[in-house]
């Protein structure tokens, strides 16, 4: 009667599992660097048309452990500066993502929070601040984004406020509006290379940059970007994709290395009962016919992006 070891060897030779991959490799595989998460292709649209007017250079280099504060634009000023409703709501008549809140504020909150979550996985010193109160009339109230961001920057940190730009002709496109107080940093510069840029004195210097807070316009709230965010089937993956771009860019700017993950060793087959590994003799070679070749059809997936022309109201920042 053949030994268990011989039977195991036969199964390995005739099994369709590629021999280059150890058995149970998928079960024992470690998490991918920075964690595993689902992504989807997202077209954030045109870059800021004011990129050609960039009049600043981010050279200030913070420590790679600089504390980063993520803020959501308009989260504290819904009845004062609400942000854009987006093409779907304003033009197509779709219901807002949350009653009493513009879609921009909804996505600002979701995106800033996701960036902080992913950034923590990647080793950044990062957190998200939500004022909780959606309409604070005094801009210098200690609960506002402006007050929290200013104190954070004065203490040596970096603050980034997330926005989505107005749809249609009123929108400028994706890009960075850099902080003025404290000077532009290499984080601002790297984000500008990734998303585009605005002049530092855009609209006469906005309130957030005056206080040392950099603004990132992810893109105009229309087209493929808005569709992927509103579709429940792609929403979570779209947020991951956007957050991944921001976090990866900041990590590169700060020189934060990507963790190295070691693959586990292939599992060892148990020895035959009644034998010791040290004195075990190799079994006689088995005459096993090679398995027939396996032909796997290949498939390709073509993704389409949609663009929509629109007109919309300008967004106050």
CATH number of the domain to which 164 belongs: 3.40.630.40
What DSSP string describes 194-253?
HH-B--TTGGGS-HHHHTTEEEEEEEESSHHHHHHHH-TTTHHHHHHHHHHHHHHHHHHH
Residue 214 domain-assigned?
yes
Tell me how far apart the 2 most distant CA atoms of the chain are, in Å.
88
- Tell me, what's the pLDDT at 3? 52
A 10 A CB-CB count for 274 gives 6
- Tell me, what's the pLDDT at 231? 98
Q: Which helix (H) or strand (E) holds 70?
A: strand 68-72
Residue 271 domain-assigned?
no
What does the pLDDT profile of the chain (317 residues) look like in tens digits? 455 445 444 444 444 333 333 322 233 333 344 446 799 999 999 999 999 999 999 999 999 999 999 999 999 999 999 999 999 999 999 999 999 999 999 999 999 999 999 999 999 999 999 999 999 999 999 999 999 999 999 999 999 999 999 999 999 999 999 999 999 999 999 999 999 999 999 999 999 999 999 999 999 999 999 999 999 999 999 999 999 999 999 999 999 987 654 444 445 555 545 444 444 444 444 444 444 444 444 433 333 333 333 333 434 45
Residue 232 domain-assigned?
yes
Residue 27 domain-assigned?
no
Number of domains forming the structure of the chain: 1
Task: Work out whether the CA dihedral 54, 74, 120, 248 comes out positive or negative.
Answer: negative
Residue 138 domain-assigned?
yes
Residue 295 domain-assigned?
no
Q: Is 79 left (phi over 0), alpha (psi -120 to 50) or beta?
A: alpha
The token duo for 5 is 């070891």
- Tell me, what's the pLDDT at 242? 97
Radius of gyration over alpha carbons of the chain, in Å?
Answer: 27
Distance CA 315, CA 300 (A): 40
Give whole-number Cα distances, 72 to 24, 129, 216, in Å: 43, 8, 10
Residue 278 domain-assigned?
no
Residue 20 domain-assigned?
no
Which range of residues forms the domain containing residue 80?
51-254
- Tell me, what's the pLDDT at 278? 42
pTM (predicted TM-score): 0.73
């Amino acid at each position: 009667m053949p030994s268990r070891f011989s039977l195991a060897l036969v199964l390995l030779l005739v099994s369709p599992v590629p021999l280059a991959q150890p058995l149970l490799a998928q079960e024992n595989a470690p998490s991918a660097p920075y964690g595993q998460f689902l992504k989807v292709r997202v077209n954030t649209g045109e870059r800021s048309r004011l990129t050609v007017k960039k009049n600043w250079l981010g050279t200030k280099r913070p420590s790679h452990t600089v504390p980063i504060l993520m803020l959501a634009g308009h989260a504290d000023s819904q009845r004062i500066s609400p942000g854009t409703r987006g093409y779907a709501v304003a033009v197509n008549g779709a219901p807002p993502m949350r009653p009493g809140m513009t879609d921009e504020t909804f996505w600002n909150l979701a995106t800033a929070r996701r960036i902080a979550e992913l950034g923590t996985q990647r080793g950044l010193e990062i957190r998200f601040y939500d004022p909780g109160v959606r309409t604070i009339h005094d801009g210098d109230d200690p609960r506002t984004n402006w007050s929290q961001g200013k104190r954070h920057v004065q203490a040596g940190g970096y603050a980034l406020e997330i926005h989505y730009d107005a749809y249609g002709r009123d929108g400028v496109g994706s890009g960075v509006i850099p902080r003025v107080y404290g000077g532009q940093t290499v984080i601002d510069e790297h984000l500008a290379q990734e998303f585009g840029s605005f002049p530092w004195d855009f609209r006469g210097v906005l309130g957030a940059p005056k206080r040392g807070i950099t603004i990132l316009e992810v893109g105009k709230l229309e087209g493929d970007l808005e569709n992927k965010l509103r579709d429940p089937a792609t929403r979570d993956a779209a947020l991951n994709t956007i957050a991944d771009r921001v976090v990866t860019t900041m990590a590169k700017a700060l020189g934060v290395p990507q963790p190295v993950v070691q693959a586990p060793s292939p599992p060892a087959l148990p020895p035959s009962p009644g034998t010791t590994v040290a004195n075990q003799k190799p079994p006689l070679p088995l005459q096993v016919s090679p398995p027939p070749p396996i032909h796997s059809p290949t498939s390709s997936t073509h993704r389409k992006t949609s663009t929509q022309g629109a007109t919309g109201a300008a967004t106050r920042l």
